[in-house]
Structure 1
Amino acid sequence: MIRVGVVGAGGWANSSHLPALTALEEFDVTSVATTNQDSATRAAAAHGVPRAFTDAGELAAHPEVDLVVVSVKASGHAAVIRAALDAGKHVVSEWPLGINADEAAELTAAATAAGVVHAVVLQGHHSPSARFTADLLAGGRIGTLESVTLIADGAPWGGSRIPPSLVFGLDYAEGTNILTIMAGHFLATLERVTGPLIELTARLPRTHDHVLIDGTDRTAPNTTPSHVLLHGLLACGATASVAIHGGNRPAREGFQLELIGSDGVLTATPAEPGTFIHWGSWDIRIDNESLAVPDTYRTVPANVRSGPPANIAALYQEVARAITEERQPHPSFETALRHHRLLAAIEQSAADGATHRLS
């Protein structure tokens, strides 16, 4: 049994990590932490967890914690990860790993030196729809892949208004914006299907220098992009065009993915309109044929809700196998670092207008 401590249990983890972990027999959630004792106690009570902390370092050092889950704001990831590594504990971190590629490189080196298992939550890697689509391509269902187009909604980032809870993300230094969160997850999912980008040219338009805070008459300064646009080349030789559009409201359409092959065209759209590409199920068609994702692509217990909880539960299954087999899981911190460097190349291309190659 792998004993788990969840840092940031009062937020995103409450509706994703904790339902996933408590449904898996390989894990026992023994501790949670938030910055407020009342919220930590509530989270512990809601999920039947015996200990509640306000200090991530105390949680990481506790002898009944083997694995630390990091589910706080991106700017707080490094401190919690380092506390876990100092205590010799395995780590699962939410994406992004750090606020930029340099911090991600430091954390990856530290985790490697610590000799622990380390994983990052890039849900698209474990999405049944993404895995099935990748297998369709690998099996030659549309022949040789020639061209890829992804159009996706990036709301609530990038618009002229923003909820009060997300104002912090208007500061680029926080590492939480349409490029890092939305493009980070979307491109990781795309690469899970098509293989890696090796070359790109990008633009990061910023439409709004100041953004209205919803429910108020106040604005906040904005240093983050409104949209993410790129053209590139995949390792398989296909071209790729990606447009991620920011906005004010929850995504209306969600995404449209089109894979053009030498013998057919595969299209994917969300089964539930407005769902992000790395979250939910896809409607998949090859030419005029509709294809259902086989049940075998879902590996988690039936009582785990589809979407993020199920995808995250699949990651934890991989982490459990990696701990048993004394290897690194996929995606690991090294995977996260590669995606951080992809985002850094997008930033650099947007700044200098040049085409950038990726190793």
Structure 2
Amino acid sequence: MIRVGVVGASGWADGSHLPALAALEAFEVTAVATTNQASADRAAAAHGVPHAFADAGELAEHPDVDLVVVSVKASGHAAVIRAALKAGKHVVSEWPLGVDAGQARELTEAAVAAGVVHGVVLQGHHSPSARFVADLLADGRIGALESVALVAEGAPWGGSRIWPNLVFGLDPSEGTNILTIMAGHFLAALERVAGPLTEVSARLPRTHDRVVVAGTEQTAPNATPSHVLLHGLLAGGATASVAVHGGNGPIQDAFVLKLVGSDATLTATPAQRGTFIHWGDWDIRIGDDPVVVPDTYRTVPTGVRSGPPANIAALYQEVAQAIAEDRQPHPSFETALRHHRLLAAIERSAADGTAQNIA
């Protein structure tokens, strides 16, 4: 049994990590931490967890914790990860790993030096639909892949309004915006299907210098992109075109992914309206013919096969296997570092108008 402490239990983790962990026999959530003791106590009571903390360091040091889950704002990841590594605990961090590629490199080097298992929540890597489509391409079902096109909605980022709890992300130093969060996850899913990008040319338009804080008459300054536009080359030689457009939501069509091969075109859209590419099942077609994902690609318990917990649960299954086999899971911190370098290349290209190679 892997004993887990969840830092940030009253936020995103409440509807994603905690249900995913509760459904898996290999894990037991033994501790939670939030920004204050009262909310930590409430989260512990709601999920039947014995230990509650207002300090992530105390959680990491507790002897009943083997694995620390980091589900706080991106700007807070580094402090919690360092506390976990200092305590010699395995760690799973939400994406993005850090606020930028430099911080991601420091955290990756520290995790490797600590000799613990380290995973990152780029859950598109564990999407049954993404894995299945990748296998279809590998099996030559559409011939040689020639081009990839992805159009995706990036709301709630990039629009003329922002929810009060997301205003902090209008500051690029927070590492939480349409490029890092939305495009970051979408590109990870695209690369899981079609292979890694090796070169990008990008633009990051900022449509709104100030945005309205929803539910108020106030506005807030915005220094983050409204859209993410890029063309690129994939390692296999195909081209890629990606447009992530910001907006106020709610999400409607969510995404359209087209994979054009020498023999046929594969199209993927959400099986459930309004579901992001890295969260839910896809409606997959080759030409006009529907293609169903086999049940063998679905490894998580039936109770967590939809919504945000689904692919996060699959990630935790991979983490459990990695711990048992004394190896690193996929995606690991090294995976996250390479993905941060991709986003940094997009930023450089947008800033100077040149194509950038991804290191």
Aligned equivalent of 2:273: 273
1:231-262 Cα offsets, whole Å, 9 max, x none, are 00000000000000000112221000000000
Shift of 1:36: 1.7
The corresponding residue for 1:153 is: 153
Number of aligned residues: 359
Which amino acid letter does the alignment assign opposite residue 326 of structure 2?
Answer: E
Alignment correspondent of 1:321: 321
Aligned to 1:58: 58
Matched, 1:118 2:134: no
1:321 partner letter = Q
* Length-normalised TM-score, structure 2: 0.99
Paired with 2:121 and 2:8, the residues of 1 have a C-alpha distance of 14
User: Given that residues 32 and 51 in structure 1 are in contact (C-alpha distance below 8 angstroms), is that contact kept between their aligned partners in structure 2?
Assistant: yes
Task: Give the secondary structure class of the aligned counterpart of 1:146.
Answer: strand
- How many angstroms does 1:305 deviate by? 4.0
1:278: Cα distance to partner? 0.4
TM-score normalised according to structure 1 size: 0.99
| Amino acid across the alignment from 1:81 | I
- 1:260 is matched with which residue? 260
* Contact 1:160–1:211 under 8 Å retained in 2: yes
Q: What amino acid is aligned across from residue 276 of structure 2 in structure 1?
A: F
Gaps of 5+ in 2: none
- Asked if the contact 2:279–2:310 (Cα under 8 Å) also holds between the matched residues in 1, the reply is no
Pairing of 1:244-255 with structure 2 (within 5 A): 244-255=244-255
CA distance in 2, matches of 1:19, 1:251: 23
Deviation at 1:230, TM superposition (A): 0.2
Q: Is 1:38 aligned to 2:38, yes or no?
A: yes
In 2, distance between residues paired with 1:329 and 1:100?
A: 22
Q: Give how far 1:41 is off.
A: 1.1
CA displacement 1:68-117 (0-9 Å, x = unmatched) = 00000000000000000000000000000000000000000000000000
Q: Alignment RMSD, CA only?
A: 0.7
Residues 281, 307 of structure 1: 8 Å contact kept? no
Q: Which residue in the other structure is 1:183 paired with? A: 183
Equivalence for 1:165: 165
How far apart in 2 are the matches of 1:303 and 1:339? 31
Deviation digits for residues 277-333 of structure 1 (CA, Å, limit 9, x no counterpart) = 001110000001101111111101112241321101111110011001000000000
Task: Name the CA distance, whole Å, in 2 between partners of 1:307 and 1:329.
Answer: 22
Cα distance in 2 between the residues matched to 1:289 and 1:305: 24
Q: Map of 1:198-209 to 2, 5 A cutoff?
A: 198-209=198-209
Task: Quote how far apart the aligned CAs of 1:167 are.
Answer: 0.4
Q: 1:102 is matched by which residue type in structure 2?
A: G
- 1 CA distance for matches of 2:285 and 2:315? 27
Contact kept in structure 2, 1:71 and 1:93, CA below 8 Å: yes
C-alpha contact 1:228 1:243 (8 A) present in aligned 2: yes
Letter in 2 for 1:3: R
Matches within 5 A, 1:58-77: 58-77=58-77
Taking the aligned partners of 1:327 and 1:249, their CA distance within structure 2 comes to 41
SS in 1 for 2:200: strand
Structure 2 residue matching 1:303: 3-state secondary structure: helix
2-structure distance, mates of 1:201, 1:96: 22
Contact conserved, 1:6 with 1:33, CA < 8 A, in 2? Answer: yes
Displacement of 1:346: 0.2
Is the partner of 1:338 in helix, strand or coil?
Answer: helix
Where in structure 2 are the equivalents of 1:1-359 lying within 5 Å?
A: 1-359=1-359
4+ residue runs over 4 A deviation: none
CA–CA distance in structure 2, aligned partners of residues 306 and 298 of structure 1 = 11
Q: Percent identity?
A: 79
Q: How many Å separate the matches in 1 of 2:307 and 2:216?
A: 33
Shift of 1:350: 0.2
Separation in structure 2 between the aligned mates of residue 267 and residue 305 of structure 1, nearest angstrom:
22
Q: Distance in 2 between matches of 1:334 and 1:221?
A: 34
Distance in 1, matches of 2:313 and 2:251, equals 25
